[in-house]
């Protein structure tokens, strides 16, 4: 039953991914474009982003739930139920909603009622042991001889006692067989033939049981070795995945429960009213217009490099979680260093990454030692690492740098695609964990909703 539920979950997830994922993304992108046309359409933009997220998240949860159902039906059923709930939240129970919600919901129920695992039959070794104990320790309830007379013969007839002693190590059933055969004939002239046949049969039976015991032991050993190998392969695969992806938040995709939690948080965030960010004079927004220009007039002052700048400077368009904004051209500002195509370092020492001397100017971006800032142009995202205690002070320095370098306000900074972590990101000379309490956690900018409070 769990195999059927797992296969159904995977197939339904793939089907919904090709339909809901593609068309939902198109609808979300179109609505997002409409929402970006004016400042009063923030609600449409948030709704569009939520649709885009759920369009991909719900099918992926169905696929993950189907895979997990093979090994853990209950956990897989919970994840499949989460996928069905997200689809119901987005599609309702109309014609299209029923096409996806009901089958995935039924698959979730099927997975939940499936047994966790089939009852394991007794190992052959245990069966042999039970059989041996039964054969060797119990007496035949249908004894066909006079036991009192037999006990007297063993006690007073040495020849019979010797044969019985030879058969005793093979079990009481062979002694009883000897007693039944001898007393049926009641003639000691047959004693050598009875002894020879019974000893041969007892030895053959013992050898057969010993072979079965050895075979059962080998099967048990092979089973344990295979189980150990599978466990080791799983650990190696997980470690390889972590090494490849740096152990960042993408590892959460492998855990269905965490994915459901993230989906719930996303729905709550986008469904709730817009939250106002507390303003501060420490961050001044740059002038923006509805059209992106190659240059923007700004008050005379100093650039992030500390050099005088003229009344105009180069700008660029940067995508955020809400819409595109105009920022200072931080890629061609004379400070940012290009590490490889699409990857840049805005602040920090890149000597380890470029294999050059840290004293060379081309190896050092903005000269800071308590944080690093990396930018990936393909995702238009910033990866920020806090490399020095106190991390609260380091984050404050980083926020001032980001606002000055990009020339945007606090509210715009909160809409960026970014992460703030304390892993010593990109710093090979930093400790493996600057602060284990906040390790691998996105601390966010201090003034954004949901940010982690840090000691100064």
Q: Which residue has the higher pLDDT, 105 or 284?
A: 105
- Average pLDDT of span 244-262: 55
Q: Which residue has the higher pLDDT, 282 or 180?
A: 180
How far apart (Å, rounded) are the C-alpha atoms in residues 345 and 44? 34
What is the predicted pLDDT for the residue at 275?
40
- Average pLDDT of span 433-444: 81
What does residue 338 show for φ and ψ, rounded to 5 degrees?
Answer: -85, 120
How far apart (Å, rounded) are the C-alpha atoms in residues 350 and 333? 17
What is the predicted pLDDT for the residue at 145?
80
Which of the residue ranges 71-80, 92-101, 363-372, 403-412 has the most confident prediction, judged by mean pLDDT?
403-412
Q: Are 66 and 6 in contact (CB under 8 A)?
A: yes
Q: Are 186 and 153 in contact (CB under 8 A)?
A: no
Alpha helices in 342-390 (DSSP H): 351-354
How far apart (Å, rounded) are the C-alpha atoms in residues 7 and 76? 12
Measured in whole angstroms, the distance separating CA 432 from the mean position of its chain's CA atoms is 22
Residue 156 pLDDT > 80? yes
User: Residue 122 has what DSSP assignment?
Assistant: P
Q: Which of 29-33, 373-377, 441-445 shows the lowest mean pLDDT across its residues?
A: 29-33
Which residue bears the tokens 């190992």?
Answer: 123
Q: What is the pLDDT of residues 56-110, one digit of tens each?
A: 888 888 899 889 988 888 888 899 899 889 888 888 888 877 888 899 989 988 8
How far apart (Å, rounded) are the C-alpha atoms in residues 342 and 416? 17
**What SS3 state is found at 356?**
coil
- Average pLDDT of span 9-14: 88
Q: Would you say the pTM of this structure is higher than 0.75?
A: no
Question: Which residues, other chains included, contact 154 with Cβ-Cβ below 8 Å and sequence gap of 6+?
Answer: 160, 161, 164
What is the predicted pLDDT for the residue at 440?
76
In sign, the C-alpha dihedral spanning 319, 320, 325, 328 is: negative
What is the predicted pLDDT for the residue at 128?
43
How high does pLDDT run on average in the chain?
76
Q: Are 365 and 348 in contact (CB under 8 A)?
A: yes
The DSSP secondary structure of 224-248, one letter per residue, reads: HHHHHHHHHHHHHHHHHHHHHHTT-
- Average pLDDT of span 153-168: 89
What is the predicted pLDDT for the residue at 32?
64
What is the predicted pLDDT for the residue at 299?
36
């Amino acid at each position: 039953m769990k195999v059927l539920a797992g296969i159904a979950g995977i197939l339904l997830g793939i089907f919904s991914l090709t339909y809901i994922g593609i068309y939902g993304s198109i609808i979300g992108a179109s609505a997002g474009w409409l929402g970006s046309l004016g400042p009063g359409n923030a609600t449409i933009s948030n709704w569009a982003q939520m649709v885009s997220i759920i369009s991909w998240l719900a099918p992926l949860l169905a696929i993950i739930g189907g895979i997990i159902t093979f090994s853990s039906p209950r956990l897989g059923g919970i994840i499949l139920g989460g996928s069905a709930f997200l689809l119901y939240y987005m599609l309702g129970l109309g014609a299209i909603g029923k096409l996806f919600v009901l089958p995935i919901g039924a698959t979730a129920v099927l997975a939940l009622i499936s047994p966790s695992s089939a009852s394991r039959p007794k190992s052959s070794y245990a069966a042999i042991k039970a059989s041996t104990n039964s054969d060797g320790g119990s007496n035949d309830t249908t004894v066909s001889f006079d036991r009192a007379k037999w006990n007297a013969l063993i006690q007073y007839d040495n020849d019979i006692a010797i044969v019985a002693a030879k058969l005793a190590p093979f079990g009481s059933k062979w002694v009883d067989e000897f007693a039944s055969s001898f007393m049926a004939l009641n003639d000691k002239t047959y004693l050598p033939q009875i002894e020879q046949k019974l000893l041969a049969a007892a030895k053959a039976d013992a050898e057969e049981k010993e072979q079965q015991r050895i075979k059962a032991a080998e099967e048990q050993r092979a089973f344990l070795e295979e189980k150990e190998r599978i466990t080791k392969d799983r650990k190696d695969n997980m470690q390889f995945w972590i090494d490849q992806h740096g152990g960042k938040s993408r590892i959460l995709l492998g855990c269905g429960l965490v994915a459901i939690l993230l989906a719930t948080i996303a729905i709550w965030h986008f469904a709730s009213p817009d939250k106002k960010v507390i303003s501060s004079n420490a961050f001044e927004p740059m002038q923006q217009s509805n059209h992106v220009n190659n240059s923007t007039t700004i008050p005379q002052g100093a650039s992030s490099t500390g050099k005088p700048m003229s009344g105009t400077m180069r700008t660029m368009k940067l995508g955020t979680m809400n819409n595109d904004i105009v920022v200072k051209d931080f890629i061609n500002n004379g400070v940012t260093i290009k590490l490889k195509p699409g990857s840049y370092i805005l602040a920090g020492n890149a000597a380890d990454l470029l294999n050059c001397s840290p004293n060379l100017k081309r190896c050092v971006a903005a000269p800071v030692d308590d944080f690093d800032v990396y930018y990936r142009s393909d995702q238009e995202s910033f990866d920020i690492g806090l490399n020095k205690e106190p991390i609260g002070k380091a984050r404050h320095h980083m926020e001032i740098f980001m606002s000055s370098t990009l020339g945007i306000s606090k509210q715009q900074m909160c809409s960026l695609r970014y992460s703030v972590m304390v892993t010593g990101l990109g710093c090979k000379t930093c400790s493996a964990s600057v602060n284990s309490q906040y390790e691998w956690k996105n601390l966010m900018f201090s003034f954004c909703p949901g940010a982690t409070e840090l000691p100064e």
